Structure 1
Amino acid sequence: MDEHVLSSLVATSRRLTSWVLRFPKRRFLFDEILRIDEEYYVGIRGIRGVGKTVLMLQLAREYERSIYFSADSTLIKPFSLYEVVKELARMGFRNVFIDEIHRKPGWEADLKTIYDEHEVRVIFSGSSTIDILTSSSDLSRRVILKELPPASFREWLNIKSDMNLPRLSIKEILSRTFDLTQMYTEIEPLWREYMVRGGVLYPKSGFFDALDSSLRKVILQDLSALREIDVKYEQEAFRLLYYIAKSKPFEANYSRIAKNLGVSKTFAVRLVSDLTSAGLIHRILPCGDVRKEPKLYLTVPLRRFFERKGFDVELGALREEFFVNHLIHIAPLCYLKGEKGQKTPDFKVGDVIIEVGGKGKGKYQRPDYTAVDGVVTGDNRVPLFLFGLVY
């Protein structure tokens, strides 16, 4: 490789690892990765905008002889991933941080060879669609793959408002509801703002333009790892996300999606599956009876993003989406569905049944707890915003 290329990679890495000092707050995955045995490589996957690059650069500062580069850099386009890392190892680097690894053809085979030669340790990031279990059984024994979900309400407040809110367990929230509500009352009004600009960590100025660009890259580039993408597929993906955004959680079933989009039910199921793999949709399965269709929710803040296109989002859908976006990452979660006309609570989280609703939500469904707007407690009512502090 040309010395100029290597010098440019080193200079860019130094500049970026200095730049990242502007971001002292760290996502929860930072400490988890530091605890992983150095015998393993580590992969970080997640949708665009959740902080993977910043996390990689923060980690790079923690290890000696580290270098960072992005696999989609034009500097290394003529070279394989193996060639680049081999040259960096020759220069003396021992910890190599590779961003957007899925953008480099043949990355799985190159990574296996690099691991087998044991000259460097690699920590890399990629889209939500990468899966080392399906790409290579050899890699699955060598790499620990971690998911970086969108920033939780707690993390968003800590990063954007310079707070220091601790992580709470579900058990703490349910057993200490009154005390925690009194302690954190001032953050309750902010959950609605979180539903508009939370989850992803783009600057407030130009936020929606950045999110729109990110969505298009996820659909056109990241999903190409799953299947061939064309203009029609892109259009159908956006139409599906828009349809879910304006629907109540259980209105967007496969049959209605197929009818609304003018596609087959088989294609509707496949499209939902693809967008779930890409991290844009959450599918919540029914408790027990897997024959029933899943409830479909969007990743925060996509529902509010699509609302800008000319409809009013239902507040009940936002409440459920906030709840699902947080609980799905930390506990077994399913929805309860009774017979036709039968009223049932919304969700089962582990062994606990929880209904999600507004301030006036009653208990006629007889849940164990009711997650509600506001800061009123008592009678097993838990302010909804507290569930945003679980990761």
Structure 2
Amino acid sequence: MEKLFKAFNIKLNTVNDTLLERYLVHDIDFNERLIAIKGSRGVGKTTLLLQYIKSTLKNDGSVLYVSLDDFYFQANSLVGLAEEFYENGGKYLFLDEVHKYDNWSIELKTIYDTYNTLNIVFTSSSILEIYKGAADLSRRAVSYELRGLSFREFLKIDSDIELESYDLETICKNHISIASEITKDLRIIPHFKRYLKLGYYPFYKQGELAYHQKLANTVTLALEVDVPSIYNTEYQTIHKLKRLLYVIAMSVPFQPNITKLSAKIDTTSRSSTLLYLDYLERANLITNLKTSGKGNNYLVKPDKIYLENTNLMYAIGSSAEEVGNLRETFFLNQLNYKHQVNNSVESDFLVNEKYTFEVGGKHKSSDQIKGLEQGFIAADNIEVGFRNKVPLWLFGFLY
């Protein structure tokens, strides 16, 4: 265990505590005894843990951070670590990458039930389902999801511009005054275009030239490492997932023909193709958009498929220059976190069964939402809107 503490201290001393404090820190109730933080690779889960430890807890031996892919666990169990840590005064145990440990759910349940003064926070891939492990943790663990940077957060980390967030209703009602205040001393459009290209994953700060290559590598790791560690998938399945993602990236957004998609990835089973689409969505690589009322069962064919965020369009797609796709992907990505977003029969998106949005450029007409009481245009390339025309970039201030 001494080596684990040494590795923890090295990692803690190297974390940048002046880096952006993510929105999720304020949403998590750290008084809970078992907390799950899920999120895709590269969104900053490890940094969030270390920043919280450094800013809030005393590094006096009662706190330990460890990644479960450490070689220590080749000869030691998680339960054994927790027992030794607890007996030596441990109070806060932070576990990174739990999906890389075979019996994570059973042992976490054992630890939780045995050591009732030990607080545990664990991170995992976005596709981990805590209620589908060998032991059901859904009644014990409180689960949160960390997303990539919002446009608002990007402004802070990229240019040290600190602005507040707004809920959707406030944006729809007061977008003119909000946008006017933000843009009075700030030319927002160049920042927004930069965000669409490289602003979603915090690791772009490590170097912009290699960012998209690193992002493509991150996608490969998610498919080759994270998916097999959670689902019992064979090599051929991973190969088909890669091919499916590539096919989608070349043509998003599109209305899928499952029969044609199946043929392109050499799968004869319709249900298998729909399952693969579900895997990709759970890995936060795509978003399967469905019409309201169809349900969330993976066997229901999506009406449209998008890449999960605009940065992926530059890293693995060929449609990054198709500005309409960029606009819709951004809107869906930012709204999809805290809101129910469905395909709209009248327009592009139906949000919370209430708001209808048409996404387009500055000259986009309102013909498709005419007569809708809660119909709006999300318009690109404008700083301040007018009536029901809301600047597209402002939807990046929802978190």
Same fold? TM cut 0.5: yes
Instruction: Decide which of 344, 354, 357 is 1:354's aligned counterpart.
Output: 357
d(CA) in 2 for partners of 1:104, 1:269: 28
8 Å contact from structure 1 (residues 43, 145) kept in 2: yes
Instruction: Decide which of 11, 14, 31 is 1:16's aligned counterpart.
Output: 11
Is 1:268 the counterpart of 2:273? The answer is: yes
Tell which deviates more after alignment, 148-157 or 283-292. 283-292
d(CA) in 1 for partners of 2:92, 2:230: 30
8 Å contact from structure 1 (residues 248, 314) kept in 2: no
Is 1:126 the counterpart of 2:124? The answer is: yes
Is 1:298 the counterpart of 2:275? The answer is: no
Corresponding residue number in structure 1 for 2:220 = 216
Is 1:41 the counterpart of 2:34? The answer is: yes
Cα gap change, 1:154/1:135 in structure 2, threshold over 3 Å: closer, same or farther? same
d(CA) in 2 for partners of 1:229, 1:138: 21
d(CA) in 2 for partners of 1:207, 1:321: 19
Alignment of 1:1-391 (within 5 A): 6-33=1-28, 35-38=29-32, 40-61=33-54, 62-64=56-58, 65-118=62-115, 119-135=117-133, 138-185=136-183, 186-202=187-203, 203-205=206-208, 206-264=210-268, 265-288=270-293, 293-300=302-309, 301-307=311-317, 313-337=321-345, 344-350=346-352, 351-366=354-369, 368-375=375-382, 376-391=384-399
Cα gap change, 1:293/1:138 in structure 2, threshold over 3 Å: closer, same or farther? closer
RMSD, matched Cα: 2.0
Q: Deviations over 1:43-86 (max 9, x none)?
A: 11110000000011122232342111111011332111111121
Q: Deviations over 1:243-262 (max 9, x none)?
A: 22222423334234223334
d(CA) in 1 for partners of 2:234, 2:212: 24
Q: Deviations over 1:348-389 (max 9, x none)?
A: 112111111112211111251100112252141101000011
8 Å contact from structure 2 (residues 92, 118) kept in 1: yes
d(CA) in 2 for partners of 1:285, 1:362: 25
8 Å contact from structure 1 (residues 196, 305) kept in 2: no
d(CA) in 2 for partners of 1:235, 1:313: 27
Q: CA deviation at 1:148?
A: 0.9
2:304 maps to amino acid: K
d(CA) in 1 for partners of 2:387, 2:26: 37
> 5+ residue gaps in structure 2?
none
8 Å contact from structure 1 (residues 253, 295) kept in 2: no
Q: Deviations over 1:150-184 (max 9, x none)?
A: 22111222223222121111112111121222223
- SS across alignment from 1:55: helix
Q: CA deviation at 1:27?
A: 0.9
Q: CA deviation at 1:294?
A: 2.9
- SS across alignment from 1:180: helix
Corresponding residue number in structure 2 for 1:341 = none
1:320 maps to amino acid: E
d(CA) in 1 for partners of 2:36, 2:321: 36
2:112 maps to amino acid: Y
Q: Deviations over 1:272-315 (max 9, x none)?
A: 011111111111210245676332111222112123xx565421
d(CA) in 1 for partners of 2:242, 2:294: 30
Percent identity of equivalent pairs = 30
Q: CA deviation at 1:226?
A: 4.4
d(CA) in 2 for partners of 1:323, 1:128: 20
Normalized against structure 1, the TM-score is what? 0.90
- SS across alignment from 1:251: coil
Q: CA deviation at 1:239?
A: 2.3
Normalized against structure 2, the TM-score is what? 0.88
1:37 maps to amino acid: N
d(CA) in 2 for partners of 1:132, 1:53: 19
Aligned residues: 376
1:347 maps to amino acid: F
> 5+ residue gaps in structure 1?
1-5, 338-343
